[in-house]
Structure 1
Amino acid sequence: MINSEQPKDYRIPDTPDDGISALAFSPVADYLAVSSWDTSVRIYEINAAAGAAYGKALYRHEGAVLCCAWSKDGSKLVSGGTDKAGRLFDLTTQQSMQIAQHEAPIKTIKWVDNQPNNLVCTGSWDKTVKYWDTRTPTPVLSVDVPERVYTMDLISPLLVIGTAERHVVIYNIANPNTPYKTQPSPLKYQTRVVSCFINATGYAIGSIEGRVGIQYLEEKDGQSSFSFKCHRDGNNVYAVNAISFHPLHGTFSTAGSDGTFNFWDKDSKQRLKGFSNVGSPISATTFNRNGTFFAYAASYDWSKGYQSFQQTQNIVYLHAVKEEDVKPRPAKKR
């Protein structure tokens, strides 16, 4: 068993007043976006040399913000929330505007990365996924999915959607009208998160039961789908809230309601590094563009409902990633 280490990480100042729903690093600069139940989206500038962060911008929704995502050129940020609206923030002008609308809260939002810098995809609890040209107020396309959208990830050409009742809907983004594949989750309990492999050949899926499934679109070359247990402590089982892939190595992190995060290698099927409890659930994670920083949010994740809500601190930590903790390793000899 690889030892667990207590992370000694930098705490970003002036974080939100309520639960943190999502984190996203810019693909071109060390800017970190943080969306929150306090209706805000905050952007921080990370000074890598100093290992410090500074507030750069802030804008608001009319309800809790559940998701955020950067454009591929890093000039714009989109977000969605319980006000049923998608908003776009322009980093240059520091202005925000509404660009999307649903009949229910927008749970997840992504830029369509193989298009010019103006196509956004939203997934909602109204059981639809919609595509929006940010320059026009009506959707380019609306697609019905089997249930409420809980999670979604897009790395062109792969779009993976996880809904209520354990449905997983997979699209080739070149053909967004028709699912490539619709299948039940390989995990027995409610889906919490999906995350695409960096080469778009499959995805990882996490559930409320402390399990992760590694799913290949096509099983070949000795690659077969599998699942494994994590974020468990004796008889206690915790939700897997976040899965983030390292942008260079393709290894990945998991983080959960137990307040821990781990780094894993799916190809050699082993844990690379474990970190001990940070004191509250981890609700969101992300790597920066070259994988040298890993951001995670220590915040209540609603995994035990409103009855268990405690006014905990909502903290974003910045972890300096050691190469040996995320580099792939050869498979262990049996």
Structure 2
Amino acid sequence: MALFGSASTASASANPTQGDISKDVQVSAGTGGPSDSISQVAFSPAADILAASSWDGGVYTWQINAQGQSVAGPALKFDAPALACTWMPDGSSVIGAACDKTAKRLDLGSSQTVQVAAHDQPIKCAKMANVNGTPILVTGSWDKTIKYWDLRASNSTPAGSVTCQERVYTMDVRDKLLVVGTADRYIDIISLDNPNQFYKTMQSPLKWQTRVVSCFTDASGFAVGSIEGRCAINYVEEKDTSSNFSFKCHRVTESTSRDICKVYSVNDISFHPVHGTFSTAGSDGTFHFWDKDAKHRLKGYPEVGGPITSTAFNSSGSIFAYAISYDWSKGYAHNNQNISQKIMLHPVQPDECKPRAGGKNKR
């Protein structure tokens, strides 16, 4: 039986690149779901447990079953907007980071919370990494630093740090590759074999502000998304850079005038853990699946009713979660109570994320 039941094939037969969201299931808000914009969603690497951080200061968790039903679990609270969440490798704890300049760890078994990191300014990003065999929390802040935290230590002193050119906006880790996107379009590449220095520094290949970076599944490169409806594919090593390219996405041409094209921010990029294909999601309220090696869009999905702020695949790639909420792309004045905060679960069908036949199968 397919996840969440059998998906409709009518639209696929009519248009093979048109995706179907009719079987998507909303995560139960329960009694304490997000009441403000959702900054990040992240699946546990060990089970189908979803976490979400919110501007209401909460980091929430839900257990997801094979039918897409969700049961709310423990949550942690900050006294300021929570901007990021990540998981311990064994799935025992979720970590949130917030504008109060701290990161906290919530143990799912005991529901106990402990502070595990601190910066001089709000923490924008948090990821778990393996550094020389040790699970390390990596945090990126608007204080322009990346810090590493050994969570086995009882003190609050970072195990290392590196200073970036500007405020950290986005960050991703895969194996030994750490990629950091900052203000002024800088992108810093760090090898976790030498975590306290840059392996490479470059400016984004995109001309406008970086919104998201996301590492390939094989850690050979990364994707970049900007506020100008573009995505770039970049390889780390010089020998592979001939395969670099960028493309337009999340743009809408007015039907009444071909001269008017509305451009939307690319808010998140997530790589499929099995196939190495990837998703983009944006302020236009749509998401798409892409094959970077074939330079081909696999599926495009209808508008979901609001901006998509964050996305994540579960560890098997069978569920794709996307958060619908205000993304602040139009500033404070455009935030209103009519914009919902909800998380949807999309059951990934076998053909949706598979690479295009004849591709290089290079992730």
Q: 1:124 to 1:222 in 2, by over 3 A?
A: closer
Give 2:109's aligned residue: 92
Give 1:167's aligned residue: 186
CA distance in 1, matches of 2:80, 2:334: 22
- Give the match's secondary structure for 1:165: helix
How far does residue 206 in structure 1 lie from its aligned partner after superposition? 0.1
CA distance in 2, matches of 1:221, 1:123: 28
Give 1:76's aligned residue: 93
Written as runs of structure 1 = structure 2, the 5 A alignment for 1:243-262 is 243-262=269-288
- Give the match's secondary structure for 1:323: coil
1:21 pairs with one of 39, 47, 57: 39
Equivalent residue letter for 1:7: I
Equivalent residue letter for 2:268: A
For normalisation by structure 1, the TM-score amounts to: 0.96
1:319 pairs with one of 346, 356, 361: 346
1:284 maps to 2:299 = no
1:184 pairs with one of 203, 206, 212: 203
Contact 2:36/2:54 (CA < 8 Å) preserved in 1? yes
Q: Deviation digits for residues 110-152 of structure 1, max 9, x if unmatched? A: 1113455642110000000111122221111121000000000
1:294 maps to 2:309 = no
Mean CA deviation greater in 210-219 or 108-117: 108-117
CA distance in 1, matches of 2:273, 2:126: 19
CA distance in 1, matches of 2:20, 2:350: 17
Q: Deviation digits for residues 287-317 of structure 1, max 9, x if unmatched? A: 0000000000010000111121122110100
Flag the structure with higher strand content. 1
CA distance in 2, matches of 1:174, 1:250: 24
1:309 maps to 2:323 = no
Identity %: 51
How far does residue 267 in structure 1 lie from its aligned partner after superposition? 0.6
1:65 pairs with one of 78, 82, 88: 82
Contact 2:250/2:264 (CA < 8 Å) preserved in 1? yes
Equivalent residue letter for 2:26: R
How far does residue 3 in structure 1 lie from its aligned partner after superposition? 3.9
Contact 1:240/1:256 (CA < 8 Å) preserved in 2? yes
How far does residue 6 in structure 1 lie from its aligned partner after superposition? 4.9
- Give the match's secondary structure for 1:307: helix
1:36 maps to 2:87 = no
CA distance in 1, matches of 2:134, 2:60: 22
- Give the match's secondary structure for 1:4: coil
| Count of equivalent residues | 331
| Cα-Cα RMSD | 1.5
Equivalent residue letter for 1:95: Q
Contact 1:166/1:185 (CA < 8 Å) preserved in 2? yes
CA distance in 1, matches of 2:213, 2:134: 24
Larger Rg: 2
CA distance in 2, matches of 1:140, 1:319: 38
Give 1:158's aligned residue: 177
1:328 maps to 2:328 = no
Contact 2:89/2:135 (CA < 8 Å) preserved in 1? no
Contact 2:75/2:106 (CA < 8 Å) preserved in 1? no
Contact 1:22/1:35 (CA < 8 Å) preserved in 2? yes
Equivalent residue letter for 1:78: I
Contact 1:2/1:271 (CA < 8 Å) preserved in 2? no
CA distance in 1, matches of 2:341, 2:132: 35
1:129 pairs with one of 116, 136, 146: 146
Contact 2:17/2:298 (CA < 8 Å) preserved in 1? no
Contact 1:108/1:124 (CA < 8 Å) preserved in 2? yes
Following TM superposition, where does structure 1 have runs of at least 4 consecutive aligned residues deviating by more than 6 angstroms?
A: none
CA distance in 2, matches of 1:296, 1:115: 33
CA distance in 1, matches of 2:358, 2:83: 38
CA distance in 2, matches of 1:58, 1:177: 32
Gaps spanning 5+ residues in structure 1: where?
A: none
- Give the match's secondary structure for 2:352: helix
CA distance in 1, matches of 2:264, 2:194: 36
- Give the match's secondary structure for 2:74: strand
CA distance in 1, matches of 2:241, 2:177: 21
For normalisation by structure 2, the TM-score amounts to: 0.88
Written as runs of structure 1 = structure 2, the 5 A alignment for 1:90-239 is 90-114=107-131, 118-134=135-151, 135=153, 136-220=155-239, 224-234=243-253, 235-239=261-265
Mean CA deviation greater in 214-223 or 25-34: 214-223
Equivalent residue letter for 1:181: K
How far does residue 214 in structure 1 lie from its aligned partner after superposition? 0.2
